[in-house]
Amino acid sequence: MKVFSPARDEVMMRACQQLTYDQRCQIAALKKRKCTQSEIAAIIEVSQSTVSRELSRNTGSRGYRPKQAHGKAALRREAAVKPTRMTPEMIASIELKLRMDWSPEQISGWLLADRDRLISHESIYLYVWANKQAGGDLYTHFRQQGKKYDKRRNGKSTRGQIKNRVSIEDRPSVVDDKSRIGDWEIDAVIGKGHSGALVTIVERVTNFTVSVQVDSKSAKAVTKVTISLLKPYMSSVLSITADNGKEFAYHEKISKALSTEFYFIHPYSSWERGLNENTNGLLRQYFPKSTDFKSVSQAEVKRAVNKLNSRPRKKLGFKNSGELMGEHRLR
């Protein structure tokens, strides 16, 4: 018979409402856009009370910052229930569930809910891999069997992650204010069947755009053309903001070559690079989604970009982007 435990039930209730790091990044970004708590809740698909509680608990002296908020939440969870030792009886229960093809996360949750025992999924992963080293077969019950769990990385592979990335949270507020010329957004637009791409870079104030076709979306290729595209405007390149695509893995090389700062938006937050997304949409007038960019010449790309930069824009007082960038460079 299951015994009622207020402490355990409170912990379980909190676990059900736990926010992910990505959700906390979204909350920070949406707050900057002046969204209400109810709007934020609707977008990240949680209750308004969850958002309200998150902001009240995890807002620091410098405002709400997702990395710090996530750390505070983790410390509270660790303090909520003391971990249980891996006794022989507990190990037998864990092995039984593993052979039923339960994941370590499922086992950890079941132990807390049904047995009032707190054993982290990290501990279970480490036990399984120790078992494998000793010749055991528990790992064969994992859906993915090949990679050892790394406690320092919460079991997540760092393959493909961008080293030394600087978050948009650390970007100067002057970039958001659009009170200066020289802050750029960058993206790589993929062609039909992932064949070739367009690297597009747009300046936030003037909307001035540069672009080039690349056969490969590799970090090496994108880095090379980014430096080449912006080198002529180097004195007007104060910052670059990108998404978290692996093609921007060599961002430090770009920063060094152009003497600029390079920032990354939050995961799944394309609106933080909204001007670039809008510009890509304008380019689709000339290069529809069915376009194989490997068959597109650089001359065709240049013509399309020149047309964009020559259009009078209402938001620019019916001046065009080329004029504004030209005037700025003459100062």
| DSSP letter string, 243-267 | -S-GGGTTHHHHHHHHT-EEEEPPT
Instruction: Judge contact between 174 and 180, C-beta under 8 A.
Output: yes
Q: How many percent of the chain have pLDDT more than 90?
A: 40
pLDDT at 216 over 80: yes
- 265 pLDDT more than 70: yes
Backbone angles phi and psi of 179, in degrees to 5: -95, 5
Mean pLDDT of 70-86: 68
- For the chain, the average pLDDT equals 84
180 or 87, which is more confident = 180
| 8: confidence class by pLDDT, cuts 50, 70, 90 | very low
Model pLDDT, residue 266: 86
Mark out the alpha helices in 202-320 (DSSP H runs): 219-230, 251-258, 274-283, 298-310
Backbone angles phi, psi at 213, to 5 degrees: -85, 140
Spell out the residues 6+ positions from residue 267 whose beta carbon is closer than 8 angstroms to its own.
22, 25, 244
Confidence tier at 80 by pLDDT (50, 70, 90): low
Of 265, 239, 243, whose CA–CA distance to 167 is shortest? 265
Are the CB atoms for 149 and 129 separated by under 8 Å?
yes
CA distance 55 to 46: 13
Q: Is 3 exposed, middle or buried (0-12, 13-18, 19+ CB in 10 A)?
A: exposed
The pLDDT tens digits of the residues spanning 286-312 come to 998 889 999 999 999 999 999 999 999
List of residues 6+ apart from 59 with CB closer than 8 A: 69
Q: Tell me how far apart the alpha carbons of residues 105 and 120 are, in angstroms, rounded to a whole number.
A: 8
Which of the residue ranges 47-51, 141-145, 218-222, 315-319 would you say has the lowest mean pLDDT? 141-145
* For residue 73, pLDDT beyond 90: no
What is the predicted pLDDT for the residue at 9?
A: 41
Query: How high is the pLDDT of residue 256?
Result: 97
What pLDDT does 18 receive? Answer: 76
pLDDT higher than 50, residue 229: yes
Segment holding 67, helix H or strand E = helix 66-80
- In three-state secondary structure terms, 319 is strand
pLDDT tens sequence across 16-27: 457 888 889 999
The residue that leads in pLDDT, 268 or 313, is: 313
Per-residue pLDDT band at 156 (split at 50, 70, 90): very low
Judged against a pLDDT cut of 90, whether residue 135 lies above it is answered with no
| Alpha helices, DSSP H, located in 87-154 | 88-99, 104-114, 121-133
User: What does the pLDDT average to over 39-61?
Assistant: 87
pLDDT at 10: 41
Least confident stretch, 84-98, 178-192, 270-284? 84-98
For 197, phi then psi, to 5°, come to: -160, 165
Residues sharing a CB contact under 8 Å with residue 232, sequence separation 6 or more, in sequence order: none
Tell me 290's DSSP state.
T
pTM for the model stands at 0.56
Structure tokens at 189: 């637009």
pLDDT at 147: 52
pLDDT reading at 176 higher than 80:
yes
Q: What is the mean pLDDT of residues 226-242?
A: 96
Domains and CATH numbers, the chain: 6-80 (no CATH), 88-153 (no CATH), 168-330 (3.30.420.10)
Residue 173 exposure: Cα atoms within 13 Å on the Cβ side: 2
The dihedral built from the CA positions of residue 202, 286, 322 and 219, taken in this order, carries a sign that is: positive
Q: Is the alpha carbon torsion for 283, 286, 291, 292 positive or negative?
A: negative
pLDDT tens-place string over residues 94-125: 899 888 888 888 888 888 776 667 788 888 88
Q: Tell me what pLDDT residue 1 has.
A: 39
| Strand arrangement, sheet containing 209-214 | 209-214, 197-203, 183-190, 239-242, 261-264
Query: How does DSSP assign 26-43, residue by residue?
Result: HHHHHHHTT--HHHHHHH
> What's the pLDDT score for residue 208?
97
